[in-house]
Each structure stands twice: as C-alpha cells, then as structure tokens.
Amino acid sequence: MVRVRLAPSPTGTLHIGTARTAVFNWLFARNQKGTFLLRIEDTDKERSKPEFTANILEGLSWLGLDWDEEPLIQSERIDEHRSAIQTLLDRGLAYRCYASEDELTGMREAQKASNQAPRYDNRHRNLTPEQEAAFQAEGRDAVVRFRIDDDANIQWRDQVRGAMQWRGADLGGDMVIARRAPADQIGDPLYNLVVVVDDAAMEITHVIRGEDHIANTAKQLLLYEALGLPVPTFAHAPLILNAEGRKLSKRDGVTSINDFRELGYTAEAIANYMTLLGWSVPEGMEERFTLQQAAEVFSFDRVNKAGARFDWDKLNWLNAQILHSWTPQQLEEALTPLWLQQSWILPDDSSWIEDLCRLLGPSLTLIKDGVEQARPFFIEPELEADGEQQLSQEGAKPALKALVEALAQTPWDGTDPAEAQTLLGAAAKAAGVKKGVIMKSLRAALLGKLQGPDLITTWSLLARLGNDRARLERCLL
C-alpha cells in the first residue's frame, strides 16, 4: 500500500516548489490508490508560524490536492526524535562534539587557506572519557554528531534519476543531528534525523521531493541503516527554473501560490501547469487536463531529469483555455467579488450579470482581466484617443444623432438584437453613411474606445440598464 507525504516547513506561504512536490505526491498516491499525508515540519521555532501552516493547507485545498488523515505536527514528536538520538549515542553511532563555534570557524578558514572543501574534520569523534570530562568541566555545550564514514558507499535506485551513488567522504564529515545544548542533555533534533524518524513512523513507502534534497537522501539512508528502519523508495523531481535557466527565486517576482492567485490565475491552470513542469504527457493526451485525468496515467518514468523552465506563455494559454470553458455562473462567482472591491454598484438583476459574464468570458486570460473589461459596463468611460478619432470622422456624429432620434421614437429595451440591427440600419440610411461607420461610432460612444466585445451584446447590456442613450447623447454635445 503506497503511502506518501508532503512535509512543508511553515516558515513562509505555500511556495510553488512545495506545491509542485505536492502535486507529484498527490498524483502518485491517487494513481496507486494509496494515501497522501501531510507533515508540518515546524521544528524551527523562530521561523515557524501558525498563519503559514494555515496558508499552506488553504493553498493545497485551493489547488484540489486533498490529503488523507490529520496532518502530523512534527514538533509534537520531539520525544521520539530525542529517543532515536539516544539510541544512536548508545550504539556508538553518534557522539557529542564540544567544538565551539570559534574553533569550527578556525577549522574552516584553515581548510579554505589550503584549498580544501570545507567539512567537519571529525575532531571529536574518538574522545577519551577523560577528554570528554575535561570539556564538560569547562562547562562546554555540545552538539550530537552522527558518524559518516568516508568510505561509506551509498546507493539507491531513484524513481526519476535511476541508479544513484554517493561517497560518505562527500557529505561534509560527521553530521550534526542535535543542536548545541548542555552536555547532559540532547538539544533540538535536526532535519535529517527527524525526517527519517517521522517517515518511518508514518510508514512512508515513497519519498517524493525536489532534487535539492539529493544529498540529504544520501545522509538519511545512512540513518535508516543505523536505526534499523525500513528504507522507502526515493523520487527526486527536477527543480523549477526561471526563463534564464536559474532556480526560480524571489527575484523572479512570484514564488508563492498566493502571488499566482492574486495575479488572476485559476487553481485548475496552476495545478495543470505545475504537473507539466517536469512531467510529460503520454502520447495522445492533451496538455490541458484535470488533476484526476493526470492521476490516471501518472508515472515516474515520464518525470524529466532536467530542470523545468517556467514558461509564462504556456501558463497564460492554459489559464485562458480554462476561463473560456467556464460557465457564466463560475465566472460570476470569481468576478463579482472583484467588482465589489472596486465599489461598483451591481444591478439587481442576476440575468444581466450572467449575460455580462457570458460576454466577457471568451476574452479573459486572467481572472482579473474581467475587472478592466467590465469597467465600462459599470462606469461611464472617458473617451480614449481612438474613440475620439472615430467620432471626428465624417458622418460619425450625424449617424449617432440619427440613432439618438430613432431611439427617441422607438427606444430599444435591449432584448431583441434584430431590433437593434433595424435601428442601426435606419440611422445609417438617414445619415447617409455605411453601416460600418455607425457601428464603430456606437462602439466609441458606448465604450470610449474601438476595442471591446460583441457590439450588439454590449449595447444590449447598457440598454437594459437604460445607460445607452446618455452615452450617445454626450458625444453630440
């Protein structure tokens, strides 16, 4: 039975890299009819905040990544973590290191000066009981270090990257597994140790995470062995890169799922796009899909090894496709709150709102495009340069005047488009202009500019509010 987990640290809002890792875990779990778990890695007390946990959970739900069982809170398991450290100490696989920060800095500087890679030189690995007693008598605090033999040969079969191999010598020397604390205590347990203890306790079968954790995997494999715990299968997903091929970072402007939401992307587009970031669709499958559809066919052999470049055009294309497929009701639900934020007064007519959504939907790329595009329906627009130019064309004003006069005789209530066409035809004829001239001029008068959605529907919506004639008349002044 497959059991996977996402293990976010609540030290910030839901990061796109974490969300993408969540997507791969979710897809694999659902594909295998397995279990997708969450573990909140809140052991960094200074930086962890409950509001970040809330943001992460909320963001995952928004994306449609539902999890099974209550999230495990890592900090509640500190006794288990300490007890594993004690086991390693008892077995002689871990030891206390009394080296002070100054000593360690001196060590690294000396290594640098002789062109060596910085690493802990294992100086306290084999202290005699007398040496230990002397450090303790000095009142020195100690960290706990786990022994990493230089000649350890660490191998695993990665589900994405195939055969992997690391040498103990490349892991930076004996690793700190508990922070500095008085020597008769065990300080705060650290990441690699707690992850192994918790993944084993949660009976995780597959650890799926970003490739920035590969060196941690090598260290964790040594800990599994030392603690005699069953080893899960590992899969390392490629990193998300920016357009220049560097790791996507704060400098790229958007890194958190919140940012994408605020920019007007739909959850469906983000979830779809994050799946494509590092996974290629099987032959015959379209690039636009739901998470459920992807879960049916997900496998690691289609996850790429190379970093995935973030492509805004593709995300925008996906978002547009999704918005174009939304029902007027879905659009209404997304747009109404944005319109209310603008303090616009919405007509008390739900079919009007629905028709406006139906009109705008096909031209949206981002949800928030529906603010600018709806503006002239709520607020009388200024005349823009192209609108003004149109109205100064020969025949434009006489045509509008004829239309205003025709409307005075037979007002249009906005319901029957055939009536609108008749009115336009009559006005064009009376002014002696082509129908195109009156159409463009009407658009300029109603929207202030020449760009916009279908003219008759636009007119109809304004006519239903009784706003069309004032807009035409102001152009004749």
Per CB under 6 A, residues contacting ligand GLU are 7-9, 41, 195, 209, 213
Identify which of residues 248 and 269 has a Cβ nearer to ligand GLU in the complex.
248
Question: What are 247's two structure tokens?
Answer: 């790791």
**Which helix (H) or strand (E) segment is 5 a member of?**
strand 3-6
Cβ–Cβ < 8 Å for 374, 335: yes
Q: Report, in Å, the least distance between residue 219 CB and ligand GLU.
A: 11
Rounded CA-CA distance 128/108 in Å is: 24
DSSP 256: B
Instruction: Write the secondary structure of 302-331 as one string of H (helix), E (strand) and C (coil).
Output: HECCCCEECCHHHHHHHHHHHHHHCCHHHH
Q: Report, in Å, the least distance between residue 206 CB and ligand GLU.
A: 11
Identify which of residues 40 and 291 has a Cβ nearer to ligand GLU in the complex.
40
Identify which of residues 220 and 373 has a Cβ nearer to ligand GLU in the complex.
220
Identify which of residues 44 and 369 has a Cβ nearer to ligand GLU in the complex.
44
266-275 burial code (b ≥16 CB/10 A, e <16): bbbbbbbbbb
Dihedral-angle region of residue 284 (phi above 0 means left; psi in -120 to 50 means alpha; beta otherwise): left
Instruction: Identify the active-site residue in 250, 401, 429, 449.
Output: 250
Rounded CA-CA distance 234/465 in Å is: 61
Identify which of residues 194 and 360 has a Cβ nearer to ligand GLU in the complex.
194
Cβ–Cβ < 8 Å for 73, 119: no
Closest CA to 450 of 399, 376, 370, 394: 376
223-236 burial code (b ≥16 CB/10 A, e <16): bbebbebeebbbbb
Rounded CA-CA distance 97/93 in Å is: 13
Rounded CA-CA distance 255/436 in Å is: 47
- What is the distance of C-alpha 130 from the center of its chain? 55
Only one residue has tokens 């084993």, namely: 200
Q: Report, in Å, the least distance between residue 248 CB and ligand GLU.
A: 15
Q: Report, in Å, the least distance between residue 239 CB and ligand GLU.
A: 12
Answer yes or no: 250 catalytic: yes
Q: Report, in Å, the least distance between residue 304 CB and ligand GLU.
A: 19
For β-strands 35-40 and 72-73, DSSP reports them as: parallel
Q: Report, in Å, the least distance between residue 195 CB and ligand GLU.
A: 5
Backbone angles phi, psi at 128, to 5 degrees: -80, 160
Q: Report, in Å, the least distance between residue 9 CB and ligand GLU.
A: 4
Cβ–Cβ < 8 Å for 168, 148: yes
Rounded CA-CA distance 389/386 in Å is: 5
Identify which of residues 236 and 464 has a Cβ nearer to ligand GLU in the complex.
236
Helices 16-31 & 50-63 angle (0-180, nearest 10) = 50
Identify which of residues 38 and 271 has a Cβ nearer to ligand GLU in the complex.
38
Rounded CA-CA distance 464/466 in Å is: 5
Identify which of residues 9 and 13 has a Cβ nearer to ligand GLU in the complex.
9
Identify which of residues 195 and 276 has a Cβ nearer to ligand GLU in the complex.
195
- Residue 59 contacts by C-beta under 8 Å, 6 or more apart in sequence? 13, 14, 19, 257, 258
Q: Which residues have a catalytic role annotated?
A: 250
